[in-house]
Structure formats: C-alpha cells, structure tokens
C-alpha cells in the first residue's frame, strides 16, 4: 500500500470519527497526533485540512449531483470518502483525477456496501467532468 493510500485511509478515519463525535476534524487530527497513535503522513493532514476548508462547497456539490441521494441518506463511509475524493479532484492539482477516483473507489470497495463503488465512481467522475464549469 502506497504512502498516499495510507494517508487517505487515515484521513477517512479522522473525518469519520469527527462526524460521529460531531466535532471538527481538525480536533480529531490534533488529538490523534498528540496521542501519537501512529505517525501521520503529512498528506493525511493536507487532506483533512483541505476537506475542512472546503466542506461547505463540497457538501453542496455532492448534494446537487448525487442523483436520488441526500447527504444524510448516504452511508457515512461513502459520504466521507466522497468528501475526500471531491477535494482531491477539485482542489488538488497534484493528483490526477483518475487516481483520486480510483483511490476513493478502492476505499469504499473495502469498507462499504456492494453498491458503493459504482456510486462513488459515477459521482466523482461527474464532478471531474464538470470541474471547469462548477468553479472549484
């Protein structure tokens, strides 16, 4: 498993825990760093901070383009993987769209429902396609 793949997995863990506890993801990230559970790859922090900074816009886009699904109705893992993937697709020019989408699909394939990979792939591909027009 690559360092960035591990970083994405840890960022997902942080975002998921923050949502469950209803605290900012930055708080969870800081708590984990203070406990030194595992050394964080720098990219974990970049992902968490990026998603937190753009979360309102990311959630707006997911709600707009997730046909037939509200954010609240999505499985929590899918919702947070989509936030990570959306941030990488729209706000991180260092990661090719195909890589961001593939990594997101891999996470939900491992951690979520059988229908999740197709849903996540379709939604992130749509956002990548619309990137020039949605103003990210």
Q: Where are the alpha helices (DSSP H) in the chain?
A: 3-21, 25-35, 42-65, 76-91, 97-111, 116-130
Sign for the pseudo-dihedral over CA of 95, 109, 21, 44: negative
Confidence of residue 17 (pLDDT cuts 50, 70, 90): very high
Q: Fold for domain 3-130?
A: N-utilizing Substance Protein B Homolog; Chain A (1.10.940)
pLDDT digits (tens, 9 = 90+) for 27-46: 999 898 888 766 678 999 99
pLDDT per position as a tens digit, 89-132: 999 999 999 999 999 999 999 999 999 999 999 999 999 999 98
Domain residue ranges of the chain, discontinuous segments joined by +: 3-130
Q: Would you state the pLDDT for residue 80? A: 98
């Amino acid at each position: 498993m690559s360092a960035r793949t591990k970083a994405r997995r840890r960022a997902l863990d942080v975002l998921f825990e923050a949502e469950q506890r209803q605290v900012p993801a930055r708080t969870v990230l800081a708590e984990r760093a203070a406990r030194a559970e595992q050394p964080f790859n720098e990219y974990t922090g970049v992902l968490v901070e990026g998603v937190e900074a753009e979360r309102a816009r990311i959630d707006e886009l997911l709600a707009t383009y997730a046909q037939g699904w509200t954010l609240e109705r999505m499985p929590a893992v899918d919702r947070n993987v989509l936030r990570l993937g959306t941030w990488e697709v729209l706000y991180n020019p260092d990661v090719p769209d195909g890589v961001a989408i593939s990594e997101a699909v891999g996470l939900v394939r491992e951690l979520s429902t059988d229908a999740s990979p197709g849903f996540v792939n379709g939604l992130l591909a749509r956002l990548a396609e619309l990137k020039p027009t949605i103003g990210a």
